[in-house]
Structure formats: structure tokens, C-alpha cells
Amino acid sequence: MPTEHSPDSPALHPGTPVGVIGAGAMGAGIAQLAAQAGHPVWLFDMQAGAAERAVARIGDDLAGAVHRGKLTDAERDAVLARLAPAAALSDLSACGLLVEAIVERLEPKQALFKDLEALVAPHAVLATNTSSISITAVAQALQHPGRVVGWHFFNPATRMKLVEIIPGLRTNPALLAPLRALSKAWGKVPVAAPNAPGFIVNRVARPYYAEALRLASEGLASFATLDRLMREAGGFALGPFELMDLIGNDVNLAVTESVFQATAFDSRYAPSLLQQERVRAGLLGRKSGQGFHDYRPEAVAAAA
């Protein structure tokens, strides 16, 4: 059995069993991508029932694709047959590629990677979908930190083409080419990103949120006005508040806090009270029904 992550490592070949940990928006999307690319996939979440709900959401998404003529019934059935919710982390022990998409905090990620290292084969690759946390730090507590790599997808993972590949200081460089090839096999456009706070995309995007939050908190423009301006005049796919609501205000705030801390509290990245208060109130965005905007069916109907 190989212990090196050479380009011939079986860990990153299509068909390798994939374990995804965290069945939220990103974990579900990554699990779907992997199953669509032909991998058997185990999806685990610490919250009972979350993996099953994610698999049901994937089923709905695939049913939509069948309805639009993008997928046949047989293809949908084949993708779903490759996807299984895991009752315990140990169900992932035979996976050659593990992708972590849990909460955006260092300590739980480090603890999970320690558990994974004890569970999986030596050649298995441990990828983290973190948006902002140092890959070196995620791998810090491991005996073999070389097997850890940043593999950062964007939301929604099934549709966004870009994926950042981020080596930590101890990441085995031999992992990078196979991971790039696998990303392409999954239909993605991989880019190499440095292991700096927020990598590339989240670093560049911080001012988009921060300045919009500043303008709104100074009472200079409403969320709706700023969103409409950036979408209709700025050419952005989503305005800043719509985008934060899509990402999840809890996730977006965690990324801001992580970048703020990692840049020695550079004031440009200081969290906004407007967002902090929303997170405290459970107004997390689309996933909770309310964020900067109101997505509850009655509000959507009233606005129509």
C-alpha cells in the first residue's frame, strides 16, 4: 500500500471513496460533486439527521436537473446510489479522500483532523474547505501534516467553477498536481492560492462586504439599494448583502474574524456590528429564512 502522495497515489483518482465531513451548504455540494464525478461518497455530520437531510436536498437538486433535461432518470439514480449518509465518523475509514466542511473555527477543525488521521489509511488525503484559516495550522497537531491541503470551493459548490488549492507549509507538494487533475475531472477550474489569511478570493472580497456594511451602518444607503446598485450598475452577480445572506452571516462573520485575527487586527477587516448582531439574533441569511433580507415565504409573497 503506498504511503507517499505521488501522482500515482490511488487517493486522488476518480472512483476513490470520498468522505465529506459537515453536511451544510458546502459539504452537501461537495458530496454531490464527488458522486456526480463517479466516487462512492460518505457524508457525515455531527448533528443527527443533517447528513440525511443533505442527501434529500441533493435528490431534489438532481430531480430539478432531470426536469430541465440535463440529466436522465438513470443518471440521477446512479448518482444517488453512490451517496450515503454516515452514522459515525468511523464509516469513513475506507475513504481515500476526506474533505472537511465543518464550522469555520480552528480548534474543531484540528480536533477533527486528529480523529481522521487515526482513522484512515496512511495514503488518504485530508482536504479542508476552509475559507480563511491557515492550512498549516489545521495540520499542526498531526503526525503527518504533509497529507493536509486546502481545497476551497465556492457557494454553490455544484455551480461555481473556481476552486482554490492551498498548500500549507508542510503540505506534500506531490499532492498538488493530482488534486489539480481531480478538480478538473470534477469540472472545476483550479487555481493555486497562497496560505495567507483569506487566501485570494476571500481576501479580495472582504472590502466588498466591509465597505457596504460601513455605508449601511452610517445610514447612507439601505441594504436593498446597495444590492441593486452593485448588481445592476456594478455588474456583480449578487449585491454584498445578498451575497452575505447566501454564504451565511455566521460563516461570513467567522471568516472576517479569522482574517482580522490573522492580520494582527488590521482595522480594514474589523467585524461589523450590523453583522454581529444578526448572527447573535440567528438571522443567518437564506438558510435561516432571514438575514439582511427576508426570505420567508410570506415576506417573498408580500414583496412580489
Catalytic residues, by residue number, are 131, 152, 164, 202
Shortest Cβ 247–ligand NAI spacing (Å) = 4
8 Å CB contact between 97 and 16: yes
106 scored as a contact of ligand NAI (CB under 6 A)? no
Residue 283 DSSP symbol = -
Stretch of 153-161, 163-171, 210-218, 226-234 contacting ligand NAI, by CB under 6 A = 153-161
The one segment of 34-42, 74-82, 99-107, 274-282 that binds ligand NAI by CB under 6 A = 99-107
CA 173, CA 179: separation in Å to the nearest integer? 10
- 10 Å CB burial of residue 85 (0-12, 13-18, 19+) is buried
- Complex with ligand NAI: residue 9 or 153, whichever CB lies closer: 153
The answer to whether 116 contacts ligand NAI (rule: CB under 6 A) is no
Nearer to ligand NAI, 80 or 106 (CB): 106
Which stretch in 5-13, 17-25, 223-231, 289-297 sits in contact with ligand NAI by CB under 6 A? Answer: 17-25
**Nearer to ligand NAI among residue 17 and residue 22 (C-beta):** 22
Stretch that binds ligand NAI, among 3-11, 55-63, 128-136, 223-231 (CB under 6 A): 128-136
**Spacing of C-alpha 83 from chain mean position:** 18
Cα–Cα dist 245/91, whole Å: 33
Stretch that binds ligand NAI, among 78-86, 139-147, 176-184, 245-253 (CB under 6 A): 245-253
- Of the candidates 104, 117, 164, 227, which one interacts with ligand NAI according to CB under 6 A? 104
Q: At residue 5, what is the residue type?
A: H
Residue choice 9, 131, 249, 275 for contact with ligand NAI (CB under 6 A): 131
Q: How far is the CB of 4 from ligand NAI (least distance, A)?
A: 28
d(CA 49, CA 24): 12
Q: How far apart are CA 247 and CA 269, in angstroms?
A: 17
Min. distance of Cβ 274 from ligand NAI in angstroms? Answer: 19
Task: Note whether 155 binds ligand NAI by CB under 6 A.
Answer: yes
CB-based closest residue to ligand NAI: 24
Q: What percent of the chain is helix, strand and coil (3-state, nearest 5)? A: 50, 10, 40
Instruction: Examine residue 112 and tell whether it contacts ligand NAI (CB under 6 A).
Output: yes
Q: Report how far apart the first and last C-alpha atoms of the chain are (Å, whole number).
A: 60
User: Cα torsion for 113, 193, 181, 160, to the nearest 10°?
Assistant: 90
- Binders of ligand NAI in range 18-37 (CB under 6 A): 21-27
* 3-state SS track over 21-87: ECCCHHHHHHHHHHHHCCCCEEEECCCCCHHHHHHHHHHHHHHHHHHCCCCCHHHHHHHHHCEEECC
**Cα gap 28→275, rounded to integer Å:** 25
Q: Does residue 251 touch ligand NAI according to CB under 6 A?
A: yes
Q: Smallest distance, Å, CB 154 to ligand NAI? A: 6
> Please, what is the minimum distance in Å from the beta carbon of residue 7 to ligand NAI?
27
Query: What secondary structure letter does DSSP report for 111?
Result: H
Residue 110: CB minimum distance to ligand NAI, A: 10
β-pair partners for 189: 162
Tell the burial category of 40 from Cβ atoms under 10 Å away from its Cβ (0-12, 13-18, 19+): middle
Q: Residues interacting with ligand NAI, by CB under 6 A?
A: 21-27, 45-47, 50, 101-104, 108, 112, 129-131, 152-155, 247-248, 251, 255
